[in-house]
Amino acid sequence: MSPRRLLALLTALLLSGAASADDKPARVVPLRHAHAHNDYLHPRPLFDALDQGFCSVEADIFLKDGALLVGHTAADLKPERTLEKLYLEPLRERAKANGGKIFPKGPSFYLLIDVKTEAKTTYAALDKVLARYADLLSIARRGQFEEKAVTAVVSGNCDRAAITAQDVRYAAVDGRPPDLDADAPAHLVPWVSASWGSLFRWQGTGAMPDEEKTRLRDFVRKAHRRGRLVRFWATPESPAVWKELRDAEVDLLNTDRLAELRKFFAER
């Protein structure tokens, strides 16, 4: 090989390495405030989020023919894409490999399960599945909470009454703004979630209005007084909005843009 050709090959390899390093972190740093919205839509469900350090992922489930299938709509469902195969089984293997954590010595990890089919029948099936992962999932027994590698949180068509009534449960409830003033224990309602557009008009252009900044901070303070985390969905996907959210101590930043949010936290 000629010296010129060898130089060209080495240059190409260096540029390729630089590009891949920019796309994926060399060392995975757990991001406790990063939530992967509709995680299953990524090329590698769960694993793309884990590679970016995300500590919270979201999966939509449908009960079909007795199976809990993951997908965005009923038309997307495939028999092999179950909640267990895409999420629970790989999370169990990872926790076993990391001494009971999803990230070695890392923070809590959340699996948000958004129920798309009828609440009661779907939760009855979900509860049976979650019980098979008692070694992995946080559990509440007669009001006593034991945190484990993954905390499951049920959203969407949530059978809140059934979950609340359980003496032994492997899932919690994704709360709503009325829970800011409710007395439910934090292990039952660990989050309060709300649509961004239902409370705020600012979309990230220019400065956030002072009135909306105050409203945001009051919302977070109320939740934190009850020991609950805060998550907004349908937030504008921009660093300006992410900055305001974290400045207000919003706990979970909801995104479809995994690498961009990871880069935001790295720069911050």
- Tokens encoding 224: 């934190």
Over the Cα atoms of the chain, what is R_g? 20
pLDDT level of residue 22 (50, 70, 90 thresholds): very low
Verdict on whether the full-model pTM lies above 0.85: yes
Query: Once rounded to an integer, what is the mean pLDDT over residues 222-250?
Result: 98
Task: Enumerate residues 6+ apart whose C-beta is below 8 A from 234.
Answer: 195, 196, 197, 254
Give residue-wise pLDDT tens across range 59-101. 999 999 999 999 999 999 999 999 999 999 999 999 999 999 9
